[in-house]
Protein backbone atom coordinates (compact mmCIF):
# COMPACT_ATOMS: atom_id res chain seq x y z
CA UNK A 1 0.00 0.00 0.00
CA UNK A 2 1.49 3.28 -1.10
CA UNK A 3 0.65 6.56 0.56
CA UNK A 4 0.22 9.60 -1.65
CA UNK A 5 0.57 12.96 -0.06
CA UNK A 6 1.39 16.48 -1.08
CA UNK A 7 2.74 17.13 2.37
CA UNK A 8 6.38 16.47 3.05
CA UNK A 9 8.45 16.06 6.14
CA UNK A 10 6.95 14.18 9.05
CA UNK A 11 4.18 12.86 6.83
CA UNK A 12 6.24 9.99 5.44
CA UNK A 13 7.24 8.75 8.87
CA UNK A 14 3.63 8.89 10.03
CA UNK A 15 2.48 6.89 7.03
CA UNK A 16 5.07 4.19 7.57
CA UNK A 17 4.06 3.91 11.19
CA UNK A 18 0.46 3.59 10.10
CA UNK A 19 1.45 0.58 8.00
CA UNK A 20 2.00 1.92 4.48
CA UNK A 21 4.71 0.17 2.53
CA UNK A 22 5.75 3.12 0.46
CA UNK A 23 5.35 6.84 0.25
CA UNK A 24 5.13 9.15 -2.73
CA UNK A 25 4.85 12.88 -2.61
CA UNK A 26 2.50 14.56 -5.01
CA UNK A 27 2.72 15.46 -7.78
CA UNK A 28 3.82 11.88 -8.49
CA UNK A 29 6.82 11.64 -10.81
CA UNK A 30 6.86 8.75 -13.22
CA UNK A 31 10.42 7.79 -12.39
CA UNK A 32 9.83 7.86 -8.65
CA UNK A 33 6.70 5.74 -9.02
CA UNK A 34 8.50 3.11 -11.11
CA UNK A 35 11.44 3.01 -8.74
CA UNK A 36 9.14 2.48 -5.81
CA UNK A 37 7.15 -0.26 -7.59
CA UNK A 38 10.38 -1.97 -8.57
CA UNK A 39 11.63 -1.88 -5.04
CA UNK A 40 8.39 -3.19 -3.60
CA UNK A 41 7.84 -5.93 -6.15
CA UNK A 42 11.54 -6.86 -6.07
CA UNK A 43 11.34 -7.37 -2.34
CA UNK A 44 8.80 -10.11 -2.89
CA UNK A 45 10.89 -11.75 -5.55
CA UNK A 46 14.08 -11.94 -3.50
CA UNK A 47 12.74 -12.87 -0.16
CA UNK A 48 11.40 -16.10 1.05
CA UNK A 49 10.25 -14.24 4.11
CA UNK A 50 6.74 -15.54 4.12
CA UNK A 51 5.09 -12.97 6.33
CA UNK A 52 6.47 -10.17 4.29
CA UNK A 53 5.35 -11.88 1.11
CA UNK A 54 1.91 -12.16 2.59
CA UNK A 55 1.91 -8.53 3.63
CA UNK A 56 2.86 -7.51 0.13
CA UNK A 57 0.49 -9.85 -1.59
CA UNK A 58 -1.64 -7.11 -3.06
CA UNK A 59 1.35 -5.67 -4.86
CA UNK A 60 3.15 -8.88 -5.63
CA UNK A 61 3.92 -10.04 -9.18
CA UNK A 62 2.03 -13.23 -8.35
CA UNK A 63 -1.22 -11.46 -7.63
CA UNK A 64 -0.89 -9.28 -10.70
CA UNK A 65 -0.25 -12.38 -12.74
CA UNK A 66 -3.19 -14.03 -11.06
CA UNK A 67 -5.49 -11.41 -12.53
CA UNK A 68 -4.10 -12.06 -16.00
CA UNK A 69 -4.30 -15.80 -15.48
CA UNK A 70 -7.95 -15.53 -14.67
CA UNK A 71 -8.74 -15.15 -18.33
CA UNK A 72 -6.95 -18.40 -19.21
CA UNK A 73 -9.04 -21.57 -19.23
CA UNK A 74 -7.39 -24.93 -18.96
CA UNK A 75 -8.78 -28.40 -19.54
CA UNK A 76 -6.93 -30.79 -17.27
CA UNK A 77 -7.25 -34.39 -18.41
CA UNK A 78 -5.97 -36.94 -15.90
CA UNK A 79 -7.42 -40.22 -14.70
CA UNK A 80 -5.46 -40.50 -11.47
CA UNK A 81 -6.89 -38.37 -8.65
CA UNK A 82 -3.50 -38.41 -6.92
CA UNK A 83 -2.17 -36.36 -9.84
CA UNK A 84 -5.35 -34.58 -10.83
CA UNK A 85 -6.18 -32.99 -7.50
CA UNK A 86 -2.86 -31.27 -6.76
CA UNK A 87 -2.45 -30.15 -10.37
CA UNK A 88 -5.97 -28.72 -10.37
CA UNK A 89 -5.38 -26.97 -7.08
CA UNK A 90 -2.07 -25.58 -8.26
CA UNK A 91 -3.70 -24.11 -11.36
CA UNK A 92 -6.72 -22.78 -9.52
CA UNK A 93 -4.58 -21.14 -6.88
CA UNK A 94 -2.55 -19.46 -9.59
CA UNK A 95 -5.78 -17.95 -10.88
CA UNK A 96 -6.43 -20.18 -13.88
CA UNK A 97 -9.89 -21.45 -14.64
CA UNK A 98 -9.74 -25.21 -14.64
CA UNK A 99 -12.08 -27.81 -16.01
CA UNK A 100 -11.29 -31.47 -15.37
CA UNK A 101 -11.75 -34.57 -17.45
CA UNK A 102 -11.04 -38.09 -16.18
CA UNK A 103 -10.17 -39.83 -19.42
CA UNK A 104 -9.69 -39.26 -23.13
CA UNK A 105 -13.31 -39.77 -24.06
CA UNK A 106 -14.50 -37.20 -21.58
CA UNK A 107 -11.80 -34.82 -22.77
CA UNK A 108 -12.85 -35.08 -26.40
CA UNK A 109 -16.50 -34.62 -25.44
CA UNK A 110 -15.90 -31.64 -23.15
CA UNK A 111 -13.60 -29.92 -25.59
CA UNK A 112 -15.66 -30.43 -28.74
CA UNK A 113 -18.85 -29.33 -26.99
CA UNK A 114 -17.32 -25.97 -26.21
CA UNK A 115 -14.01 -25.52 -28.01
CA UNK A 116 -13.99 -21.75 -27.51
CA UNK A 117 -14.10 -22.28 -23.77
CA UNK A 118 -10.52 -23.54 -23.57
CA UNK A 119 -7.11 -22.01 -24.16
CA UNK A 120 -4.99 -25.06 -23.45
CA UNK A 121 -5.32 -28.78 -22.68
CA UNK A 122 -3.06 -30.72 -20.33
CA UNK A 123 -3.40 -34.32 -21.41
CA UNK A 124 -2.30 -37.35 -19.45
CA UNK A 125 -1.12 -40.19 -21.68
CA UNK A 126 -2.05 -43.39 -19.84
CA UNK A 127 -5.79 -43.36 -19.23
CA UNK A 128 -8.61 -45.92 -19.33
CA UNK A 129 -11.20 -45.95 -22.13
CA UNK A 130 -9.27 -43.59 -24.36
CA UNK A 131 -5.65 -42.61 -23.79
CA UNK A 132 -4.16 -39.18 -24.29
CA UNK A 133 -2.66 -39.92 -27.67
CA UNK A 134 -5.97 -41.18 -29.07
CA UNK A 135 -7.86 -38.25 -27.57
CA UNK A 136 -5.43 -35.78 -29.12
CA UNK A 137 -5.75 -37.45 -32.52
CA UNK A 138 -9.54 -37.32 -32.23
CA UNK A 139 -9.50 -33.61 -31.40
CA UNK A 140 -7.13 -32.84 -34.27
CA UNK A 141 -9.15 -34.96 -36.68
CA UNK A 142 -12.18 -32.85 -35.91
CA UNK A 143 -10.21 -29.92 -37.26
CA UNK A 144 -9.15 -28.23 -34.02
CA UNK A 145 -5.60 -27.34 -34.97
CA UNK A 146 -5.05 -24.29 -32.83
CA UNK A 147 -5.70 -25.49 -29.30
CA UNK A 148 -2.36 -26.26 -27.60
CA UNK A 149 -2.36 -29.81 -26.21
CA UNK A 150 0.39 -30.57 -23.73
CA UNK A 151 1.10 -34.21 -22.93
CA UNK A 152 1.87 -35.26 -19.37
CA UNK A 153 3.73 -38.48 -18.99
CA UNK A 154 5.40 -40.30 -16.13
CA UNK A 155 8.09 -42.13 -18.02
CA UNK A 156 9.25 -40.27 -21.06
CA UNK A 157 11.10 -42.74 -23.19
CA UNK A 158 13.29 -42.18 -26.15
CA UNK A 159 11.10 -41.53 -29.16
CA UNK A 160 8.12 -40.46 -27.04
CA UNK A 161 8.51 -36.85 -28.02
CA UNK A 162 8.23 -37.72 -31.68
CA UNK A 163 5.28 -39.98 -30.98
CA UNK A 164 3.44 -37.23 -29.11
CA UNK A 165 4.14 -34.60 -31.71
CA UNK A 166 3.03 -36.98 -34.43
CA UNK A 167 -0.26 -37.51 -32.60
CA UNK A 168 -0.79 -33.76 -32.78
CA UNK A 169 0.45 -32.72 -29.38
CA UNK A 170 2.02 -29.33 -29.04
CA UNK A 171 4.41 -29.97 -26.18
CA UNK A 172 4.94 -32.37 -23.30
CA UNK A 173 5.78 -32.35 -19.61
CA UNK A 174 7.33 -35.12 -17.57
CA UNK A 175 5.66 -36.17 -14.34
CA UNK A 176 5.81 -35.37 -11.52
CA UNK A 177 4.69 -32.02 -12.86
CA UNK A 178 6.51 -29.14 -11.27
CA UNK A 179 4.84 -25.83 -10.52
CA UNK A 180 7.19 -23.68 -12.53
CA UNK A 181 7.06 -26.00 -15.52
CA UNK A 182 3.31 -26.00 -15.67
CA UNK A 183 3.16 -22.22 -15.50
CA UNK A 184 5.93 -21.57 -17.97
CA UNK A 185 4.26 -24.01 -20.38
CA UNK A 186 1.00 -22.09 -20.18
CA UNK A 187 2.80 -18.79 -20.70
CA UNK A 188 4.64 -20.29 -23.63
CA UNK A 189 1.56 -21.48 -25.51
CA UNK A 190 -1.19 -19.13 -24.45
CA UNK A 191 -0.51 -15.60 -25.56
Residues that bind Mn ion (CB under 5 A): 79-80, 124, 126-127
Please report how close the Cβ of residue 127 comes to Mn ion at its closest, in angstroms.
5
Closest to Mn ion by CB, 22 or 132 = 132
Min. distance of Cβ 156 from Mn ion in angstroms?
14
Nearer Cβ to Mn ion (21/79): 79
**Cβ proximity to Mn ion, 59 vs 91, nearer residue:** 91
Of the pair 79, 106, the CB lying nearest Mn ion is at: 79
Taking the complex as a whole, the smallest distance from the CB of residue 154 to Mn ion amounts, in Å, to 8
Distance of closest approach, residue 81 Cβ to Mn ion, in angstroms? 10
Written in H, E and C, the secondary structure of the chain is CEEEECCCCHHHHHHHHHCCCEEEECCCCHHHHHHHHHHHHHHHHHCCCHHHHHHCHHHCHHHHHHHHHCCCEEEEECCCHHHHHHHHHHHHHCCCEEEEECCHHHHHHHHHHCHHHCCEEEEECCCCCCCHHHHHHHHHHCCCCCCCEEEEECCCCCCHHHHHHHHCCCEEEECCCCHHHHHHHHHHHCC
Amino acid sequence: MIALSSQMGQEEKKCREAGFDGFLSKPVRRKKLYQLLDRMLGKRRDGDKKDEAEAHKIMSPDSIREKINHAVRVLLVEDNPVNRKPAGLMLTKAGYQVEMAHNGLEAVRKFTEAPKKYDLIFMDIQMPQMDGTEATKAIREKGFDAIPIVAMTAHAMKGDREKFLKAGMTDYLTKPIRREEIFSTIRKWVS
